[in-house]
């Protein structure tokens, strides 16, 4: 029997987040998420989606000329067959990244996949749900991402990074919640704290606008 995943959308756009920001990328957005972050901007992925076989997903990805594929959500690791999808994409020669909400273990994710792992700050309402073992399982090509909704979130992220030596494990990204924290405020907190992080804006929202889907 063919292996399927419930897919919300597959589209070609500019990567808006992570250290791959700016790269033309095919996005495979899976349906479902086990979290409900208060500032979530992809609520439509909670329920909407169609089952697709891995062959169907690959055929759709191949319609576009790029070496970058990002598996995102929703929460991709909420579907067990996603590891097989990522393995097949790697076998086809793609540079594969995974955007995960940090609440599932990354133990079954193929090692070559670039994992961009959220660590949910208290302002998300979901910081209690993190799979903390992930902090010890990353490789240098992975990235930890904190989405910051307040100065309290920033201070919490700083403390966590120091306590677990996250900067020594892989790059750490800080990004402001769109419309909630002024980028200039986050930038000044980072500079004042001399935080060795990469500040990120959601590039796709700057390019296409905050409400646009499938970009």
Q: Residues in the site for ligand SF4, rule: CB under 6 A?
A: 33, 35-37, 40, 42, 45, 73-75, 101
Nearer to ligand SF4, 58 or 160 (CB): 160
Cβ proximity to ligand SF4, 58 vs 106, nearer residue: 106
Tell the smallest beta-carbon distance from residue 46 to ligand SF4 (Å): 7
Q: Are the beta carbons of 29 and 8 closer than 8 angstroms?
A: yes
Q: How far is the CB of 91 from ligand SF4 (least distance, A)?
A: 27
Buried b (16+ CB within 10 A) or exposed e, 25-34: bbbbbbbbbe
* Least distance (Å) between residue 60 CB and ligand SF4: 21
Q: Which is nearer to ligand SF4, 44 or 208 (CB)?
A: 44
CA dist., res. 172 & res. 88, Å (int): 28
Under DSSP, the state recorded for 59 is: H
Q: State residue 87 phi and psi, 5-degree precision.
A: -60, -40
| Bridge partners of residue 4, in order along the sequence | 53
Contacts with 163 (C-beta within 8 Å, 6 or more apart), sequence order? none
Residue 214 burial (CB count, 10 A): 12
| Shortest Å, Cβ 102 to ligand SF4 | 8
Closest CA to 76 of 128, 28, 11: 28
State in angstroms the smallest separation of the CB of 178 from ligand SF4.
11
Closer residue to ligand SF4 in complex, CB, 58/143: 143
Q: Which is nearer to ligand SF4, 53 or 127 (CB)?
A: 127
């Amino acid at each position: 029997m063919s292996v399927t995943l419930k897919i919300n959308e597959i589209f070609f756009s500019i990567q808006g987040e992570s250290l791959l920001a700016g790269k033309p990328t095919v996005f495979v957005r899976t349906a479902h998420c086990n979290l409900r972050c208060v500032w979530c901007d992809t609520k439509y992925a909670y329920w909407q989606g169609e089952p697709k076989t891995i062959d169907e997903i690959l055929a759709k990805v191949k319609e576009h000329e790029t070496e970058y594929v990002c598996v995102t959500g929703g929460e991709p690791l909420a579907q067990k067959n996603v590891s097989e999808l990522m393995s097949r994409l790697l076998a086809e020669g793609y540079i594969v990244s995974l955007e995960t909400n940090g609440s599932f273990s990354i133990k079954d994710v193929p090692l070559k996949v670039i994992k961009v792992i959220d660590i949910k700050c208290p302002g998300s309402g979901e910081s209690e749900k993190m799979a903390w073992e992930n902090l010890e399982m990353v490789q240098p090509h992975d990235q930890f991402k904190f989405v910051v909704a307040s100065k309290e979130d920033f201070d919490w992220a700083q403390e966590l990074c120091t306590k677990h030596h996250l900067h020594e494990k892989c790059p750490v990204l800080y990004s402001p919640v769109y419309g909630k924290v002024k980028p200039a405020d986050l930038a000044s907190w980072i500079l004042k704290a001399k935080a060795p992080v990469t500040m990120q804006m959601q590039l796709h929202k700057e390019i296409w606008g905050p409400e646009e889907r499938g970009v």
